[in-house]
Structure 1
């Protein structure tokens, strides 16, 4: 029987949380303020997830168009790797001692973009099919196949249960609403997995769902890539 397990993500923070105030949020005057963190009762892993999401939100507020251009680039390209480094240098780290997996930050950026766009849009989700293999042209390593498979999985989940997929993406890390959304989404997650048992972190799943939702319902980044990167 297929089983899907969601585990908490482990982000590599050099300074232990709650020293995660090393991240900041820009306010309307461009000043950096301490990042928002969950209150008491949350695990260190949930706090780490919140830090990554806050970091992504700060980057988007600092330069929204640059974030859009970054996510429009083929993710395995040298240009994308360089732009990831550039976009991360936006004054959002008060202490520059944060190490992160670029793929996790990419997912968090999609969470921010989708929630920002969804706040001003209404209506049912209609998932447009996307050829994710087009993102991996020129990449021959096993990670390219994994990249495509993971997004096909997320697309399946969104198609089966768009409402709870959106609820997962919209929920704060470690919140009661997130736990409820994941519980409700569990049947779709289990139906869409390939193999007998798969484990993903919540950070990964939320990022994948956000990417599929954003790219297939809000903005087709693939078709707009040339225009956005000019």
Structure 2
């Protein structure tokens, strides 16, 4: 299994605020696919695989996203979804299996794009319900969801732009930069370090679950 690690979002925010605007844009331009790191290629491959799974196995995907992410059923379904051409065929020369959490985030991103790309749905005023182990220390899913919910409510347009953007694209990086003020305003809600990959996945899940009455 490939583990994708990035600097914490707080460190990213601090680093970006220290750079002039021109330098920010220069350092954030993604590399061509052929020169991407394995971690960046893995994120791209996962996004492509998730789009394929949603298209080819929609009922399995919808069922998986309704499951408690810590359950055995979710683990078994993630193993099933990791098999076949959608995931194996999207990774090229990289051999990997994606974790249930990574797959879940990518599938929520694909689902949001599929259901809401044309128009942003209203955001519900009800706090997001959280599934999973609420006592999981630094990876506490309650705090992860509360942090991303805070970010979304602070800047829903930029949060939506992150989710709609192609993975590891200039548009994704620009949207993350636009979210800096929301990151900083919501840091009191954050639990531990969230990697870029983890944040993007939890953001997509929270944004999808915050879709109002017109949502899918």
Normalising by structure 1, we get a TM-score of 0.69
User: Greater helix percent: which structure?
Assistant: 2
- Tell me the SS of whatever aligns to 1:75: coil
In the alignment, which of 138, 152, 161 is matched to residue 158 of structure 1? 152
Q: RMSD in angstroms over aligned alpha carbons?
A: 3.2
Query: In 2, Cα distance between the equivalents of 1:90 and 1:140?
Result: 33
Query: In 1, Cα distance between the equivalents of 2:141 and 2:127?
Result: 16
Query: In 2, Cα distance between the equivalents of 1:102 and 1:153?
Result: 21
Residues 1-230 of structure 1: matches in 2 within 5 Å? 4-6=10-12, 39-40=33-34, 42-92=36-86, 93-94=88-89, 97-122=95-120, 124-126=122-124, 128-132=126-130, 135-136=131-132, 139=133, 142=136, 146-194=140-188, 199-217=193-211
Post-superposition CA distance 1:39-83 (Å, at most 9, x none)? 355444322210111111121111112101101011111111112
User: Greater strand percent: which structure?
Assistant: 1
Q: Which consecutive unaligned segments of at least 5 residues does structure 1 have? A: 8-36, 225-230
Query: In 2, Cα distance between the equivalents of 1:189 and 1:56?
Result: 26
Tell me the CA shift for residue 209 of structure 1: 1.0
Is 2:82–2:97's contact at 8 Å kept on the other side of the alignment?
A: no
Is 1:38–1:50's contact at 8 Å kept on the other side of the alignment?
A: no
Query: In 1, Cα distance between the equivalents of 2:180 and 2:63?
Result: 33
Give the equivalent residue in structure 1 for 2:5. none
Q: Which consecutive unaligned segments of at least 5 residues does structure 2 have? A: 1-8, 14-30
Size of the aligned set, in residue pairs, is: 187
Tell me the CA shift for residue 127 of structure 1: 5.2
Tell me the CA shift for residue 86 of structure 1: 1.9
Instruction: Mark the CA change 1:78 to 1:67 in structure 2 (over 3 Å): closer, same or farther.
Output: same
121-130 or 200-209, which deviates more: 121-130
Query: In 2, Cα distance between the equivalents of 1:98 and 1:71?
Result: 21
- Tell me the SS of whatever aligns to 1:150: helix
Instruction: Mark the CA change 1:5 to 1:220 in structure 2 (over 3 Å): closer, same or farther.
Output: farther
